[in-house]
Chain A
Amino acid sequence: EPEVTQTPSHQVTQMGQEVILRCVPISNHLYFYWYRQILGQKVEFLVSFYNNEISEKSEIFDDQFSVERPDGSNFTLKIRSTKLEDSAMYFCASSDTRDGRGHAETQYFGPGTRLLVL
Chain B
Amino acid sequence: LAKTTQPISMDSYEGQEVNITCSHNNIATNDYITWYQQFPSQGPRFIIQGYKTKVTNEVASLFIPADRKSSTLSLPRVSLSDTAVYYCLVAHTGGGNKLTFGTGTQLKVEL
Contact = CB atoms under 8 A, between A and B. Distances in A.
B94 A97 contact: yes
Contacts of A112: 41-43
Which secondary structure dominates chain A's binding surface?
strand
A4 B41 CA distance: 15
Contacts of B96: 31, 48, 50, 55-56, 95, 105
A69 B54 CA distance: 39
B13 interface: no
A59 B32 CA distance: 25
Nearest to A98: B95
A44 interface: yes
Interface string A2-41: 0010000000000000000000000000110101000000
Given A104-B49, A104-B93, A33 B43 contact: no
Q: Chain A: interface residue count, which band? A: 20 to 34
Given A43-B44, A104-B32, A108-B46, A56 B94 contact: no
A110 B43 CA distance: 6
Contacts, number: 72
Contacts of B41: 89, 112, 114
Contacts of B46: 106-108
Contacts of B44: 43, 91, 109
Interface of B: 31-32, 34, 38, 41-46, 49, 51, 87, 91-104
The 7 closest A-B pairs by CB, nearest first: A109-B43, A97-B95, A104-B32, A104-B91, A43-B101, A45-B98, A105-B95
21 contacts: A31-B96, A42-B104, A43-B44, A48-B96, A50-B95, A56-B96, A56-B98, A58-B98, A95-B95, A104-B49, A104-B92, A104-B93, A104-B97, A105-B91, A105-B96, A105-B97, A106-B46, A107-B46, A107-B99, A111-B42, A112-B41
